[in-house]
């Protein structure tokens, strides 16, 4: 008979309930692999369970409460009691990761968190283990399944944003309150975690700049088709001028980019390094069973523990002003010389036009163009100047464009 391995479960929502079912279904297989048979020894929710009793009765704690409090307190107390912890709480790790990892090292326990980023995609394990010796230069990620589903629906059939969001909620990809997803905050927390692991430097959520998808329109999707582009919510973590930049925003991608064809609720992460060139990991990113599967994988890893997350080895400055290509859309008076004046204003800030489409609207016109990469501060300086030009009839709209394509 295999020895029993007791798992205390904090939280019993969509992921927690899916994890408990999956643990029961896979217990025999896990016992064969590890020599120990896992079972849930207690469940803590708002209405049932006692944390102290669950802690005393468990070999490992799974934290699926979410948020900062009381999750932070429970995780710290569990590790100080010598218990391994598995968590899918990206907000907690992005805000208090260094404190948590330091406590894990101090008490010689495991803090595993694969389920916190990209669902079932094993990007945490790849960064911590497979690519531990690689000098990672940049990560691009579609790390929020909710927003990727919404944008895919808008692109596929011209579905309005509100309708696509409602569909995501009906399918369980979006919460009743989707604010963290659609504003980019959820993706920003995940990118903070990936940046910390990739660059071995402290990164917190408040150091990540982020924008959401709430203002994306059907017209943006139409012009994406005109230019042969895909529109995604992209997280980026990269080395810049001796520091790092970590950011989340909508971006257009050319067809050759590895993330351009990632649709629906799928997540994908591209890791770039001189040693490996580029690898892309992709898989389901939203849903209880997918995250529960990643959590269970962490439980098995903790049952056969590898080394804990090491201390940081660098303290890199966060670079706020980086280069990017841009999509720029403007409603202007349809009169001679407008395009030339727009080009002149852009040129004053060092911006040059890569491609342009013009469509008439009676006495008005809509100019849509792609701008070659330049510092974001220079580009937005040009946009501010253009907004004050007498022929511009509405606030210009700008979305970043990822200008890289990868060849086989």
Active site residues: 190
Task: Give the span between the Cα atoms of 60 and 253, in whole angstroms.
Answer: 42
**Residue positions in the annotated binding site for L-homoserine?**
175
Task: Give the span between the Cα atoms of 254 and 224, in whole angstroms.
Answer: 10
**Phi, psi angles (nearest 5°) of residue 105:** -65, -40
Secondary structure (3-state) at 202: coil
**Residue positions in the annotated binding site?**
10-17, 90, 175
Task: Give the span between the Cα atoms of 157 and 144, in whole angstroms.
Answer: 21
User: CB neighbours of 344 closer than 8 A, spacing ≥ 6?
Assistant: none
User: CB neighbours of 208 closer than 8 A, spacing ≥ 6?
Assistant: 94, 188, 189, 191, 192, 195, 246, 247, 248
Task: Give the span between the Cα atoms of 128 and 130, in whole angstroms.
Answer: 7
- What letter would DSSP give residue 260? T
Residue 85's nearest CA partner among 117, 107, 52 is: 107
Task: Give the span between the Cα atoms of 50 and 217, in whole angstroms.
Answer: 48
E-only strand ranges, 45-181: 60-63, 84-87, 111-112, 136-142
Task: Give the span between the Cα atoms of 353 and 249, in whole angstroms.
Answer: 21
């Amino acid at each position: 008979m295999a020895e029993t391995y007791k798992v205390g479960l904090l939280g019993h929502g969509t992921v927690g309930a899916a994890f408990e079912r999956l643990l029961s279904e896979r217990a025999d297989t896990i016992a064969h692999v590890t020599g120990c048979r896992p079972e849930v020894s207690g469940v803590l929710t708002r209405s049932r369970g006692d944390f102290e009793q669950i802690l005393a009765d468990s070999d490992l704690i799974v934290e699926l409460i979410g948020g900062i409090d009381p999750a932070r307190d429970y995780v710290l107390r569990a590790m100080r009691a010598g218990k391994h912890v598995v968590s899918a709480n990206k907000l907690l790790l992005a805000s208090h990761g260094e404190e948590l990892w330091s406590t894990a090292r101090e008490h010689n326990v495991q803090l595993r968190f694969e389920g916190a980023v990209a669902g079932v995609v094993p990007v945490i394990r790849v960064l911590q283990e497979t690519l531990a010796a690689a000098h990672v230069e940049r990560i691009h990620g579609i790390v929020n399944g909710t927003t990727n589903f919404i944008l895919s629906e808008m692109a596929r059939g011209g579905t309005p944003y509100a309708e696509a969001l409602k569909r995501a909620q009906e399918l369980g990809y979006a919460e009743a309150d989707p604010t963290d997803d659609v504003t980019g905050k959820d993706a920003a927390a995940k990118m903070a975690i990936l940046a910390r692991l990739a660059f071995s430097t402290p990164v917190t959520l408040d150091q990540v700049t982020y924008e959401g998808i709430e203002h994306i329109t059907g017209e943006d999707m139409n012009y994406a088709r005109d230019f042969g582009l895909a529109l995604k919510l992209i997280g980026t973590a990269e080395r810049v001028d001796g520091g790092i930049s970590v950011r989340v925003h909508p971006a257009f991608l050319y067809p050759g980019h590895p993330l351009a064809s990632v649709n629906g609720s799928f997540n994908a992460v591209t890791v770039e390094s001189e040693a490996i060139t580029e690898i892309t990991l992709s898989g389901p990113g939203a849903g209880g069973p997918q995250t529960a599967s990643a959590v269970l994988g962490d439980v098995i890893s903790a049952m056969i523990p590898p080394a804990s997350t090491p201390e940081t080895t660098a303290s890199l400055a966060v670079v706020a002003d980086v280069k990017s290509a841009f999509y720029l859309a403007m409603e202007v008076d349809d009169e001679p010389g407008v395009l030339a004046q727009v080009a002149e204003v852009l040129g004053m800030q060092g911006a040059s036009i890569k491609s342009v489409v013009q469509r008439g609207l009676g006495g008005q016109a809509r100019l849509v163009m792609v701008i070659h990469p330049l510092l974001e501060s220079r580009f937005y300086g040009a946009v501010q100047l253009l907004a004050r030009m007498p022929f511009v009839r509405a606030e210009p709209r700008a979305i970043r464009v990822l200008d890289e394509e990868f060849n086989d």
